Structure 1
Amino acid sequence: MAIVSVIFGQTMIMFLIMLIGFLCFRVGLIDENGSQQISNVVIYISNPALLLNSFIGKLKSSQLMDGLDILVLLVIMMLVTIVIAKLLFRKPSQMLVRFALIFANLGFIGLPLSKAVLGTGSVFYMSIFVGVSNFSLWTYGIYMISGDRRTIQLKKLVVNPAILALVFGLIFAFTGVQLPHVLGTAVSDLANMNLPLVMIAMGCYLAEGDIRNALKSRDLYEAVGARLIIAPLIVMIMLKLCQTT
């Protein structure tokens, strides 16, 4: 019950901050350009700072070994999810649902949610998930949408802020190098900005959208069902199998 209470409390905090973003947009304190700029700050500054901060001088060898195990599990999980998505949603009109089942917005919402609920230490493991997901998104995801392998651009993957933060973070983790106090504090403070900025941006997006029409869309419910029901079931089954082996 304790973990449920923590999750509920943190979720309520996130919804309250999101409500502030929603109201800010509706009363005109933030417009469409402003919400996009907030998202850019998250993607290019606070999110990479959160990733980088999770690696610097805090990882033990046991954590790195656990991270390797998680990497292998995540790759298998991604492949299994791709196969299941193809089997369940074969129609061309169900591309959105298939995409929703395979990919999640891990960097934008997953990282701050992980930190809020499970603490800063969980960000390292979540960052591995972000790396696997981003690689899959910029390769197979692009191919899914376009149907043309030539549209896969590894150059965009290499310069992705989250990937760059992971690379530099791993360098810090393996070498044990620490940032100078002032710079390290700046990175930590930027990382702490991530959750409020993400939720304000989410509130703005909700205020921008046409919620009534969205709720009438069958595709929306299929995508939500795939993401929030089928995907967790796949994860739970795979984790259960790992426990029994």
Structure 2
Amino acid sequence: MELAGMTMYKTLVMTILALVGVFCYHKKIVDQEMNKKLSELVLSLFTPVLLFTSFQKDFSKELVTGLMISVLLSAIAFFLIWCICKWVVRKLDKDYAVVELVALMYSNCGFIGIPMAQGIFGAEGVFYMTAYVAMANFLLWSHGVIVMSGKSDIKSLKKVFTSPTIISIILGIICFVAQIRVPQIIEEPMEMIANMNTPMAMMVAGINIAQADLKQVFCHYRLYWLSFVKLIVMPFALVGVFYFVPVSQLVKTIVILATACPAGVTGAYLHFAMKKTPYMQQKYLL
């Protein structure tokens, strides 16, 4: 009950931050172009710094074991999600099916999940979240591209290892294993930057919501079904499966939290799909 209460409280705090973003957009304090730059700032600076600093810990077997368990549970989660997605899109035409499959399968675990993990569980939550984020990025740029384009693309796969997110995770793991600690004069400003991630990410999310045509979104009834599957069915399916896995409750909660995030991360792929069929653009912010 204590965890549930804390989660609700932190979620309410982050909702207020998102509403600040909505307010700023409607008051014309920020516009679409500025929001794009703010998004790039979060994804290219705040989030990578947060991920790296989450590994600036004393080495312990407990943390390593927890991280490996997080990798295993993430793999189980993606397999279960893939099975659910295949069932959901089984009767759709191919062009529609691939868009929904990618949108449902790959959550916005980086932009929304990491701030949620940081806000609710702190640095340790972010530490375990890195396993899911890394796996999601790898699958998105490999399986996601193959599904959307119908062919493999080595150039897209290279983006996995050149993205700031993955680079920061790799450097963080190296420093964690080798116990390389950054000097305090550098660590302190890095932590200050990392602490900006959650408020800025949630405000940007609010700005994105303010830009959407909500009336048009809410009139597209299939989205209610897709949202139910994405935000309710998938997380609760994992709760049922993980119930029988005797591992850390925190690690299980982090993986479920990452899975329950909306699908905004798939925007680039949805735009690619628009070239083939005029199908749902901002509507997929589930």
TM norm structure 1: 0.94
Corresponding position: 1:2 with 2:5: no
Question: Which residue in the other structure is 1:89 paired with?
Answer: 89
CA distance in 2, matches of 1:181, 1:42: 23
Deviations 1:48-73 (A, max 9, x none): 01100100134422211221122122
Measure, in 1, the Cα distance between the counterparts of 2:241 and 2:104.
16
- CA deviation digits over 1:24-53, x for unaligned, max 9? 111111000111111001000000011001
Which position in structure 1 is the counterpart of 2:45? 45
Closer/same/farther in 2, CA of residues 59 and 124 from structure 1, 3 Å limit: farther
Q: Provide the secondary structure at the position in 1 that maps to 2:123.
A: coil
Answer yes or no: is the 8 Å Cα contact 2:77–2:238 preserved in 1: yes
Pick 1 or 2: higher relative contact order, CA cutoff 8 A, min separation 6: 1
Moved over 6 A (4+): none
1:24 counterpart = 2:27? no
Q: Deviations over 1:168-211 (max 9, x none)?
A: 00011100111011111111111100011101101110111101
Aligned to 2:173: 170
Q: What aligned pairs does 1:2-151 form with structure 2 within 5 A after superposition?
A: 2-90=2-90, 91=92, 92=94, 93-150=96-153
Please name the residue that 1:182 is paired with. 185
1:134-175 per-position Cα deviation (integer Å, ceiling 9, x unaligned): 111111111122122237622111111110011000011100
Deviates more, 1:69-78 or 1:38-47: 69-78
| Partner Cα separation in structure 1 for residue 87 and residue 227 of structure 2 | 18
Does the CA contact (< 8 Å) of 2:46 and 2:194 recur in 1? yes
Normalised by the length of structure 2, the TM-score is 0.81
Question: 3-state DSSP class of the match of 1:119?
Answer: helix
Structure 1 residues 98-146: Cα deviation after superposition (integer angstroms, max 9, x where no partner): 2233110001010110111122211110111101111111111111221
Paired residue for 1:194? Answer: 197
Other-structure match for 1:156: 159
CA separation in 1, counterparts of 2:167 and 2:215?
39
Counterparts of 2:162 and 2:97, CA distance in 1:
31
- Contact kept? 1:57, 1:172, Cα under 8 Å: no
Distance in 1 (CA, whole Å) between partners of 2:123 and 2:225 is 33
Secondary structure of the corresponding residue to residue 228 of structure 2: helix
What displacement does 1:237 show?
2.3
Task: Please report the RMSD computed on the Cα atoms of aligned residues, expressed in angstroms.
Answer: 1.7
Q: Is 1:230 paired with 2:233?
A: yes
Stretches of structure 2 that go unaligned for 5 or more consecutive residues are 248-286
Matched residues in 2 for 1:4 and 1:38: separation? 31
